[in-house]
Each structure stands twice: as structure tokens, then as C-alpha cells.
Amino acid sequence: MASSRELRSPEPFLLLLLLLMAAVASSSAAAAAGNVVELTLLAGAQEKGAVCLDGSPPGYHLQRGFGSGEHSWLIFLEGGAWCNSIQSCSIRKMGVYGSSKFMKAAEFNGILSNDQQVNSDFYNWNKVVIRYCDGASFSGDAEAQDKDGSTLHFRGLRIWEAVVDELMEKGLATAKQAILSGCSAGGLAALLHCNDFHAKFPKEVSAKCLPDAGFFLDVEDLSGERHMWSVFNGTVHLQLYNAYSDFFFAFFYQNVKEVLPKSCLAKKDRTECFFPAELVKSITAPTLILNSAYDSWQIRNVVAPDGSFSGQSWSSCKTDIRNCSSTQIQVLNGFRNKFVDDVEVVKDNGGWGLFIDSCFTHCQTPFNFSWNSQASPVLGNKTIAKAVGDWYFERTYEVKEIDCEYPCNPTCSSQLPT
Ligand SMILES: *[C@@H]1O[C@H](CO)[C@@H](O)[C@H](O)[C@H]1NC(C)=O
Ligand SMILES: *[C@@H]1O[C@H](CO)[C@@H](O)[C@H](O)[C@H]1NC(C)=O
Ligand SMILES: *[C@@H]1O[C@H](CO)[C@@H](O)[C@H](O)[C@H]1NC(C)=O
Ligand SMILES: *[C@@H]1O[C@H](CO)[C@@H](O)[C@H](O)[C@H]1NC(C)=O
């Protein structure tokens, strides 16, 4: 039983690795065109213990704001799934999601674009992409021994703190407007660090959070297993707490830097507290949850992970939602309804926003195509770029949009990134 889980877990990582390359990671082809931003390695990383899985310094890309955007900052946390065992973290440390040795310059698109046509509200802001190399959504603080005797560093929380400290010195400290965003595992990280981010600024600063495709659900997969829960359980136990026994943890509770909300930990197990449905209950900063209720990554890896169904019955539907049978669509609607239930808890929060569309896609802010183009998803008559701008700048009373069931939205293009 346990082994079937282990066999299944690598798939999400590989898929997302490929997927997110297109978003913010670099390639020499990308370097030829567009808005390419160099990599900066964190200074003094080793002394701070703020290192990637392999012990290398973490990195980020900073593009300076200009004009009226000089004192506005967008911090974007890169995603790329999680590692949840010594074995999966050991593999990860040999690539771009575990070591800065493999990182290169990145192309900024969508909400990161410096082109006014694509990104009229944020084009001239200071923008930072913080690279993801810890495997636990910037939340771990522990270490373990790899099979070859070397150390595996689980220091995502220190990376978060050290990079933000360095950015504070580079001007973030005098920001008048600020957004913490990120997509996928980086969207989850934006939720995990939202309160901390908000608390770094004086009250008059407008600091808000924009998790994109980070709202992962704790649902049963096709075989009835809580597959996503198992993935998170591995990550949380390996990275967030492995340096402390439960006894130690209980004893020094006050001294351990706690990334999970204490109000949740008092009632629920740690793994459950890593899920957005719980995290949002403790977030006090204004937050817009941007996600598809038919999130393609979650359909592939949470609802129908390989091994949860027999034969090829779901292969074609997982690849392209247009190929799902009506029975399969019913299953996906079940997921969508759970999604709507889970976000219900924030519906009345003042200053919050919701943009929950029904398009088969994953991560909608860092691509020109989904962020703001003729083919962007539209909800409540707004593209994502317009909805996010209206919410952030409070140009409308509120932005709380939940789409109808698939396939009701004609603006869902089949060419959206999946
Ligand atoms: C995004 O839009 C900008 C501005 O038009 C353009 O320079 C860039 O190449 C586009 N990116 C991609 C990946 O098409
Ligand atoms: C959660 O992970 C821990 C640590 O790997 C493991 O001991 C425990 O059995 C897991 N819980 C479940 C219900 O699988
Ligand atoms: C979807 O169905 C069409 C028509 O049956 C088929 O040609 C196509 O290969 C299918 N796509 C996938 C990803 O299976
Ligand atoms: C949607 O936007 C278009 C163009 O901005 C406008 O003409 C139309 O009246 C709007 N529709 C609604 C329902 O608000």
C-alpha cells in the first residue's frame, strides 16, 4: 500500500518541472528575445544557513521599477511541486529546483512584463522572482543525510527570510505598494508567508497577496486515497519538523519559528495545516485567490494521479479536458464543487478577492497569453490583468468572481498553458 504511494509521487514533480520552465525559468532560446533578467545569488547564504537543497546559495531576479513605479514592489515566488522523501529530494538537488548551479537568467512575462501594453498596472514596478530550490514551498528549516553521506539542506524558510532581508536593503523597505505572489508551489508559499510579508511594512503601505494556482485541495483521488495529503505529509514531516522530535517541538514550541498557523495547529494535524483551506483562515492581509477550479495540474496529479485508475481510462481526459467523457466531467465537477466550498470561507472578507475560472490551465499570471491577451480567460467581463488591478487598486467595490461549471465559459481557450 505504502509502496503504491511512493511509486506515484514522482510524477507531479516531473510534470511541473517541465511546465514551469516555460513560466519563469530560463533557456538560451528565451534569452534571445523579450524581457530577460539576470540571476543574482544571495550574499552570505552559507553563513545564514539559507541554502538550496545541495548547499548552494539561492538566487533571485530583480528588475528595477521606474517612474511612478519606483516605490512599488512585486515579489513572485517560483513554483515547481515538492520533494517529500530523501530519495525525491536527492534527485531534485541535482537540478534547477534544488541547486543554483543550474540556474540562468529568466524571461519576465505576464504580470512580470515591463511592457505597458501587456501589463498596464504593474509594468513599471520593481519586480522580483525568487527561485525555488528548497522543495517545500519556502517553508522548511531542517536537514537530513543523503544516502551518499552528504547533507540535504531543507532551508526554505531561511531562504525566504534572507532574500527578503536583502531586498529590504535594496529598496523594498521603503515600498509604498507591495504584492506577494507566486504560482503553484510558489502560490502556496505566498499563502504561507502572506502574514509575515504584510507585517514587514508600516500600516499605510498597501501590502497584499496574490497566490496563483496555489490552492491545492485535500480530496480523494479516483482510487479513494488522499494522494495530495500523502505528498504534503511527506514534505511536512521531512522538511518542516524533522530536526525536532515531537517532544522537543512541544517543549520549545515558543522558540521554533512557526510557519504554520498556531490556531490551526492547536486543532488539526500539521499536514492539514499546510493546505490552503486551513491557511486562509489565519491570513489577515488582503488576498486575491486566483485559480482555475479545473486546475490542470490538480486534475492530473490530485484527482487522477497515475495508479489511481485502471488502464488508459483517464489518460486522454487528463491531457485534454475536451476529451473527457460526461462521467469524467461529473468527477471533475465534484472537484470544482469542493473548490467552491473551500474558498467560501473568505467570501465575506473585506479587501479580499476571488478569480476562480473554469479553464483547464495552471498558473495564469506569468504568461502574456493568460494574463492579458485576446485569448485570456474573462470572468465578470474582466481579464485576469484587469481583475487583479481592480482588486489591488480598489477601483471597484470588490472582485469576487466564481465561474460556472465547465464548459460554460466561452473564453477558455484550448491554448492556455496546461
Ligand atoms: C510578452 O509580451 C512582450 C511584450 O509584447 C513581448 O516582448 C514578449 O516577447 C512576450 N513574451 C512571449 C513569451 O511571447
Ligand atoms: C505521515 O508521515 C510520517 C513521516 O513520514 C509517517 O510516519 C506517517 O505514517 C505518515 N502518516 C500517514 C497517515 O501516512
Ligand atoms: C482527443 O480526442 C481526439 C479525437 O478523438 C484525438 O484525436 C486526440 O488524440 C485526443 N487527445 C488526446 C490528448 O488524447
Ligand atoms: C463588458 O465590457 C464591454 C467592453 O468594455 C462593455 O461594452 C459591456 O457593456 C460590458 N458588459 C457588462 C455585462 O458589464
Q: What is the pLDDT of residues 332-359, one digit of tens each?
A: 999 999 999 999 999 999 999 999 999 9
Pocket of ligand 1, candidates 36, 109, 111: which has the most ligand atoms within 8 Å of its Cβ, to mutate? 109
Task: Kindly report the pTM of this predicted structure.
Answer: 0.91
Q: How far is the CA of 22 from the centre of ligand 1 (A)?
A: 13
CB of 119 closer than 8 Å to CB of 76: no
Find out whether the beta carbon of 237 lies less than 6 Å from any atom of ligand 2: yes
Nearest ligand atom owner, CA of 360: 3
Query: Which residues, given as ranges, of the chain have pLDDT below 50?
Result: 1-32, 244-245, 253-255
Catalytic site includes residue 390: no
Nearest ligand atom owner, CA of 36: 1
Pocket of ligand 2, candidates 1, 233, 240, 274: which has the most ligand atoms within 8 Å of its Cβ, to mutate? 233
Nearest ligand atom owner, CA of 115: 1
Find out whether the beta carbon of 239 lies less than 6 Å from any atom of ligand 2: no
Exposure letters 323-348 (e unless 16+ CB within 10 A, then b): ebeeebbebbeebbebbbebbeebee
Catalytic site includes residue 184: yes
pLDDT for residue 247: 52
Catalytic residue among 26, 56, 184, 230: 184
CA distance 276 to 95: 27
Q: Which residues lie with the beta carbon below 6 Å from any ligand 1 atom?
A: 33-34, 109, 113, 115, 117-118, 368
pLDDT for residue 258: 83
Q: Domain 38-402 maps to which CATH number in 1.10.3470, 3.20.170, 3.40.50, 2.40.50?
A: 3.40.50
| Phi–psi pair at 126, nearest 5 degrees | -70, 135
pLDDT for residue 241: 79
Please tell me the residue having the least CA distance from ligand 2 atom 11. 233
pLDDT for residue 31: 42
Catalytic site includes residue 237: no
Q: Which residues lie with the beta carbon below 6 Å from any ligand 3 atom?
A: 316, 319-320, 323
Q: How far is the CA of 252 from the centre of ligand 1 (A)?
A: 50
Q: How far is the CA of 357 from the centre of ligand 3 (A)?
A: 24
Q: How far is the CA of 356 from the centre of ligand 4 (A)?
A: 20
